[in-house]
Amino acid sequence: MFRRAAQFSRRDAVLLMVGATAMHLVSSFLPGHPTADSSIIINTHLKHVHDTPDTEPLPGPPQVPIADALRVQTVTTTATTTVTLSPDSHVALQTGTDDLPFTSIVDHAPGWTLFRNLYMSDGTLYILSDNRSFPEIRLMTSTGMAAENNPENIAAREPTSHDMDYITPAEARRRWGGTKHNRVSTIQGNTLLVWEPSQFLRHYYHLVAELFFGAQAFWHGAWSAPSEALSNSAKLNHPAPPPLDRVIFAHSNADGWRDDPGFNRFFMRAAFPSITVEVEEDWQDRVVATSNSKGVDRAFHFPYVLLTDRSAAHRGVICGSETQRIAAEAWDYMRKQHKLMGIQAGAWWEPVRSSILNFAGLEVDRNDMTSLTVPKKVVITYVSRQGVSRRKLTDASHESLVKALTELCERKGWELIVMQAEKLTKDAQLEVASKTTVMLGVHGNGLSHLLWMPPTKVSAVIEIFYPGGFAHDYHWTSRALGMSHYGVWNNKYFTYPNEPKVDYPQGFQENNIPVDGKTVAQLVEDRIAGKV
Ligand SMILES: *[C@@H]1O[C@H](CO)[C@@H](O)[C@H](O)[C@H]1NC(C)=O
């Protein structure tokens, strides 16, 4: 039952159907591993261009930690008790660029690159190295422009040496070094650097279900030890990665990452309560601060930075030609390395889900499941778009769907929720999602709430398209969480691996989408019974 029933309008939003029949479930059915197919592994991202260093490399770090070096010096300088270090001996240890560590890559997939020791000066990201054995720069970044599908725009998004460049230790020493100390300031902690503009960030789906979904997969994976057994399990609890301390939206202002319904800002503060958000203006401050106006050149240093770029992700095969989902590059890279823990239950996403639901005041069942179970209480949620302006079912189809689902849920003793998200508070929407076993509805943003569904043995998303239409948004995301996805064309349905090609036929966005309610209800029944 709803603990805050007052938040739901029973009249038009929620149908509670509580029957008495026990569920009979054919068990021993597990949703297939989302990517049990033999996907093509393409690993051509590393371009090896071996440069000979133009000067001898920098001396390595001091053999003893600075504190120890100082202590040794103190002891050897004098035997009296009052001696302190002279300023010169202290400075000597920090002179030049001795403490500018080389850049290295922790992990990389197209559009997702975790660097150790990346530098930024005057708006350019610098790889400090005496070789060029790094991923192709166009697979890491772009000019950060909005994307349009025309040749001029595609060319204009190719990164230049202003976006990212190499810097040799000698050049770094020349530009940023000094006789007393270098002019490089460290931005402490872990940074998520978002290079895409506000074009897509202003949508709940794209910010949460793509950008942060991918970032979580990549960040979680980067700090996980590879394990075939743990990654293929449904075990929910895994050691948490270190926190992300800040997110920088380098090409979006404060308004540019917030969606109109307000879910993005809720998500940011609920899922990452301690994260610092910097936007374009803040980034520009850093750019201007390091621009060489009076012959003084300087830089910022990121100890750990996860750089994400939408255009670069689309240059990868998985995003560019298979899924159109930037998160898919991050997810698939970590999956192949067996670093996405508990993939069958979306366990790598669980910390984010738990934070959101706890913040909404909801109980989160975090049993350390070793195998998924069928829920005690089956909840079917129909996300209705009949109250919004476009992409709606015909009235007759909507009625047939509600009627068929009502009959099914009465017969089975399941709960049916018909949710018009725009009429509910955020907490109420999250409450519905957090207990939904099967979520269904017409293709649309409301289905993004699938992110908060509990992992169970029969969890599924059923997406209604105008016949002939198909898109990967909710399809890929459901499957990435270990759930099944079914597409419905009126009185037919399809599922992995027999899916159509992406298509937006005439009628896709319009308000006369047909659906046969009985077909959907039968599919729901078969799904819970483990027959499909
Ligand atoms: C290139 O330099 C980086 C440090 O910047 C180092 O981590 C990496 O091992 C080097 N690669 C090769 C092939 O020398």
pLDDT at 180: 78
For ligand 1, residues with CB inside 6 Å are 102-104, 129, 131, 133
Pair (58, 194) in one structural domain? yes
Pair (395, 299) in one structural domain? no
Residue 280 has pLDDT above 80, yes or no: yes
Contact between residue 275 and residue 246 where contact means Cβ atoms under 8 Å apart: yes
312: in domain: yes
Pair (388, 352) in one structural domain? no
pLDDT at 294: 78
Question: The domain spanning residue 399 has which CATH number?
Answer: 3.40.50.720
Pair (184, 253) in one structural domain? yes
Which atom, in ligand 1's list, is nearest to the CA of 129?
5
pLDDT at 363: 81
Mean pLDDT of the chain: 83
Which atom, in ligand 1's list, is nearest to the CA of 130?
2
pLDDT at 69: 30
Residue 214 has pLDDT above 90, yes or no: yes
Q: How buried is 433 (Cβ within 10 angstroms: 0-12 exposed, 13-18 middle, 19+ buried)?
A: buried
pTM above 0.85, yes or no: no
Pair (157, 58) in one structural domain? yes
Residue 40 has pLDDT above 70, yes or no: no
pLDDT at 178: 76
Give tens-digit pLDDT for 109-131.
Answer: 999 999 999 999 999 999 999 99
Pair (129, 87) in one structural domain? yes
More confident residue, 239 or 246: 246
Spacing, Cα 108 to ligand 1 middle (Å): 15
Contact between residue 123 and residue 287 where contact means Cβ atoms under 8 Å apart: yes
pLDDT at 392: 97
Residue 287 has pLDDT above 50, yes or no: yes
40: in domain: no
37: in domain: no
462: in domain: yes
Residue 381 — pLDDT band, cuts 50, 70, 90? very high
Pair (281, 193) in one structural domain? yes
Pair (342, 415) in one structural domain? no
Q: Which of 255, 263, 309 is nearest to 281 (CA)?
A: 255
223: in domain: yes
**SS3 call for 519:** helix
Domain range for 316: 46-358
Q: What is the total count of domains within the chain? A: 3
Residue 248 has pLDDT above 90, yes or no: yes
Pair (431, 459) in one structural domain? yes
Give tens-digit pLDDT for 393-409.
Answer: 999 999 999 999 999 99
- Cβ-based neighbour number of residue 321 at 10 Å: 9
Average pLDDT rounded to a whole number, residues 134-140: 98
77: in domain: yes
**SS3 call for 74:** helix
Pair (24, 92) in one structural domain? no
Strands 104-109 and 46-49: unpaired
Question: What span, in angstroms and rounded, lies between the C-alpha atoms of 433 and 499?
Answer: 26
Q: What is the residue with the minimal CA distance to atom 9 of ligand 1? A: 104
Pair (330, 451) in one structural domain? no
Spacing, Cα 242 to ligand 1 middle (Å): 25
**SS3 call for 305:** strand
207: in domain: yes
363: in domain: no
Spacing, Cα 134 to ligand 1 middle (Å): 8
Q: What is the DSSP letter of 31?
A: P
Highest mean predicted confidence (pLDDT) among 27-36, 361-370, 462-471: 462-471
Pair (351, 309) in one structural domain? yes
Give tens-digit pLDDT for 342-358.
Answer: 998 999 999 999 999 99
